[in-house]
Structure 1
Amino acid sequence: MDTTGTLDEALARLHHSGPERLGRLTNHAPMAVEALAAHGQARSVHRWLDLYARKLEEFPPGVEPVTDANWFSALGDPRRAADWIGYFAREVAERPWREVLAQWWPRLLPGLYGGSTHPVIRVGHAVRTLSSGEVTEPRLAELAHGLGYWAARHRSVAVVAPLPGADSAAAALDTVPPITVRDGGFAARLDRVRALPVWAASVTEPSDAYRRLTELVRAATHRYATHGHGEETMLVHAATAPNAVLRALPALPHALWLPSLRAAWTASAAVTAMYAPATPVAYTSPGTVTAEEVFERALAHGDEHVIKLTDTALDVGDEPALAAALRSMELSAPLA
Structure 2
Amino acid sequence: MDDTTGTLDEALERIHLSGPERDGWLSNHAPMAVEALVRHGQASAVHRWLDRYGPKLEEMPGAGTPVTARNWREALGDPRRVADWTAYFERETAGRPWRDVLVEWWPRLLPGIAAGATHPVIRAGHAVRTLLAGRANAPRVRELAHALGYWAARHQPLPVLTPLAPASSAMAALDRVPPVPERSGGIRDRFVQLTGFPDWPGQEPLGAEAARSALQELVRASTHRYATHGHGDPIMLVHAATAPNAVLRTLPALPARLWEPSLRAAWAAAAAVTAAYTPRAAVPVPSPAGPADAEELFARAAAHGDDHTIKFTDTALDVGDALAFAAARRAIELNPPAFQGY
TMscore range, shorter length: over 0.9
Q: Which moved more, 1:161-170 or 1:242-251?
A: 161-170
Contact persistence 2:291–2:297 (CA under 8 A): no
Question: CA offset at residue 283 of structure 1?
Answer: 2.2
Which residue number in structure 1 is paired with residue 319 of structure 2? 316
Per-residue CA deviation, residues 6-60 of structure 1 (Å, 9 max, x unaligned), is: 0000000100000000121000000000001111111111011111112111111
Which residue number in structure 2 is paired with residue 290 of structure 1? 293
Q: Report runs of 4+ in structure 1 exceeding 6 Å deviation.
A: none
Which residue number in structure 1 is paired with residue 274 of structure 2? 272
Which residue number in structure 1 is paired with residue 195 of structure 2? 194
After TM superposition, the structure 1 = structure 2 runs for residues 168-247 of structure 1, keeping only pairs within 5 Å, are 168-201=169-202, 202-247=204-249
Question: 2 CA distance for matches of 1:229 and 1:204?
Answer: 34
Question: CA offset at residue 287 of structure 1?
Answer: 5.3
Per-residue CA deviation, residues 110-130 of structure 1 (Å, 9 max, x unaligned), is: 011110000000000000000
- Whether 2:308 is the aligned partner of 1:301: answer no
Which residue number in structure 2 is paired with residue 23 of structure 1? 24
Which residue number in structure 2 is paired with residue 131 of structure 1? 132
After TM superposition, the structure 1 = structure 2 runs for residues 22-171 of structure 1, keeping only pairs within 5 Å, are 22-171=23-172
Which residue number in structure 2 is paired with residue 334 of structure 1? 337
Question: CA offset at residue 80 of structure 1?
Answer: 0.4
Q: Provide the aligned C-alpha RMSD in A.
A: 0.9
Contact persistence 2:290–2:329 (CA under 8 A): no
Question: 2 CA distance for matches of 1:10 and 1:186?
Answer: 29
Which residue number in structure 1 is paired with residue 258 of structure 2? 256
Give the residue type in structure 2 aligned to 1:269: A
Give the residue type in structure 2 aligned to 1:248: T
Question: CA offset at residue 166 of structure 1?
Answer: 1.5
Per-residue CA deviation, residues 108-157 of structure 1 (Å, 9 max, x unaligned), is: 00011110000000000000000011111000000000000000000000
What TM-score do you get using the length of structure 1 for normalisation? Answer: 0.99
> Can you give the 5+ residue segments of structure 2 that lack an aligned partner in the other structure?
none
What TM-score do you get using the length of structure 2 for normalisation? Answer: 0.97
Question: 1 CA distance for matches of 2:231 and 2:225?
Answer: 11
Question: 1 CA distance for matches of 2:131 and 2:110?
Answer: 20
Question: 1 CA distance for matches of 2:127 and 2:77?
Answer: 21
Question: 2 CA distance for matches of 1:306 and 1:249?
Answer: 24
Contact persistence 1:117–1:241 (CA under 8 A): yes
Question: 1 CA distance for matches of 2:38 and 2:81?
Answer: 30
SS in 1 for 2:31: helix
Contact persistence 1:110–1:155 (CA under 8 A): yes
Contact persistence 1:2–1:40 (CA under 8 A): no
Q: Which moved more, 1:156-165 or 1:223-232?
A: 156-165
SS in 1 for 2:166: coil
Contact persistence 1:62–1:80 (CA under 8 A): yes
Per-residue CA deviation, residues 185-214 of structure 1 (Å, 9 max, x unaligned), is: 111100001111010123510100000000
Give the residue type in structure 2 aligned to 1:322: F
Question: 1 CA distance for matches of 2:214 and 2:14?
Answer: 37
